[in-house]
Amino acid sequence: MPSFVAEKKIFVEPNMCFTNLANHDRPTLTKNNHYVRSEALDDDDDGTSPILPGLPDDVSKHCLALVPRSNFPAMGGVCKRWRGFIRSKEFITVRKLAGMHEEWLYILTAGSEGKGSHWEVMDCLGHNRRSLPPMPGPAKAGFGVVVLNGKLLVMAGYSSIDGTASVSAEVYQYDSCLNSWSRLSSMNVARYDFACAEVDGLVYAVGGYGATGDSLSSAEVYDLDTDKWTPIESLRRPRWGCFACGFEGKLYVMGGRSSFTIGNSKFVDVYNPEKHGWCEMKNGCVMVTAYAVLEKKLFCMEWKNQRKLAIFNPEDNSWKMVPVPLTGSSSIGFRFGILDGKLLLFSLEEEPSYKTLLYDPNAAPGSEWHTSDIRPSGLCLCSVTIKA
């Protein structure tokens, strides 16, 4: 997450953090510190009974997958078997095969007049906007956000309570189908201002700052199936303020700073999970203010070129620059979103007349840019897309 960080010091950009806002859909806290919906589950259900009496389970699963998404939280309260299926990767697969996959845009939005921030979600048309239940725990900044198996993971970061900063290793998961948060296993290393990304169903966390404010070179990987974080080979040098993305089974870490460079780093660290090791490239980008992966390419915007898209093609490690038109917004600051195969540019200036810019990478030359009415209720701090 964006924040301004210096060695052993923390400077938080206003509103760039989670706050526990009141919400009518707030779940309840169990003894295991897991947040769940309040519907009662059948304690007598041992998980072996049929999903729907009288039907084979494969037919029952298809039937459940056809139910409208708005009914999923209520379905999860019917019994443990239903809830377990709705939370599984198989449920997403069955919905995809049934042609029921839906794309939703999740935006961490800064509240107006210093009222903190909250997550909100919109459908592919920018309609049906609603707020998510607040994430458990104290307000945080410098955390990482990743989408894994149709779920939103919010990792680590730091909080400040009564002037005392505390760095966290906690990981929380938001289940978009059940509209609830739960806590996952904590990371091995508490960190903030680090890079993170999903690659082939695994989540990687790299670098950042540690609990004492020292820059980190350590890295670790998370497997949702085992709910376990495992250390992997460290970077050659500490790195912080960076970001990560996955291409063709490899993890790319770029941007930010490292202890081996003066100023911002143009080096790209590439991790190959099959070889369990890092290699290095030298033509990265620096001072990145927004980034997104679309159509197997990286789109980012650098601080010195905020009216140009920098597009990275990992196939040949090449970059190209695309000017950003003034249509819709003359802002020099944006956050990115992805919806329906298109890149959304949300202005960081709250002007009522500004429209969201839309870039279509598959449009005919000269027709790539449009404007869209899709916009968050406040300033966009970060955005992810979930298909489920």
In a domain, 207, yes or no: yes
Burial of 206 (0-12, 13-18, 19+ CB in 10 A): buried
The answer on 276 and 136 residing in a single domain is yes
Place of tokens 């590439």: 270
Asked whether residue 145 falls in the same domain as residue 268, the answer is yes
Q: Are strands 356-359 and 334-339 parallel, antiparallel or unpaired?
A: unpaired
Cα 172 off chain centre by: 12
Residues 90 and 226 in one domain: no
Co-location of 197 and 257 in the same domain = yes
Verify that 175 and 227 share a domain, yes or no: yes
The structure's pTM equals 0.85
Among 245, 280, 315, the domain boundary falls at 280
Question: How many Cβ atoms sit within 10 Å of the Cβ of residue 117?
Answer: 22
Question: What is the model's pLDDT at position 5?
Answer: 34
Q: Is position 333 within any domain? A: no
**C-beta separation of 356 from 108 below 8 A:** no
The structural domain count of the chain equals 2
Instruction: Please give the structure tokens belonging to residue 294.
Output: 């679309």
> Does any domain span residue 347?
no
Predicted pLDDT at 388: 82
Chosen domain end from 96, 117, 152: 96
Evaluate whether residue 329 is within a structural domain.
no
pLDDT string in tens for the chain (388-residue length)? 443 333 333 333 333 344 433 333 333 333 333 333 333 444 445 567 889 999 999 999 999 999 988 889 899 999 999 999 999 999 999 999 998 988 899 999 987 655 678 999 988 776 778 899 998 888 899 999 999 999 999 999 999 888 888 999 999 999 989 999 999 999 999 999 999 999 999 999 999 999 999 999 999 999 999 999 999 999 999 999 999 999 999 999 999 988 766 557 788 999 999 999 999 988 888 889 899 999 899 999 988 877 899 999 999 989 999 999 887 667 678 999 999 999 999 988 877 778 899 999 999 999 999 999 888 888 899 999 998 8
Question: Tell me, what's the pLDDT at 329?
Answer: 66
Are the CB atoms for 172 and 183 separated by under 8 Å?
yes
What single-letter amino acid sits at 261? T
Query: What is the pLDDT at residue 346?
Result: 92
Q: Which domain holds residue 240?
A: 132-280
Question: Is there a domain that residue 321 lies in?
Answer: no
Tell me which residue of 88, 97, 85, 93 sits closest to 60, measured CA to CA: 85
Task: Give a yes or no: residue 126 inside a domain.
Answer: no
Residue 367 in any domain: the answer is no
Residues 40 and 203: their CA atoms lie apart, in Å, by 32
Asked if the structure places residue 88 within a domain, the reply is: yes
Same domain, 155 and 219: yes
Same domain? 138 vs 273: yes
Given 241, 257, 280, the domain boundary residue is 280
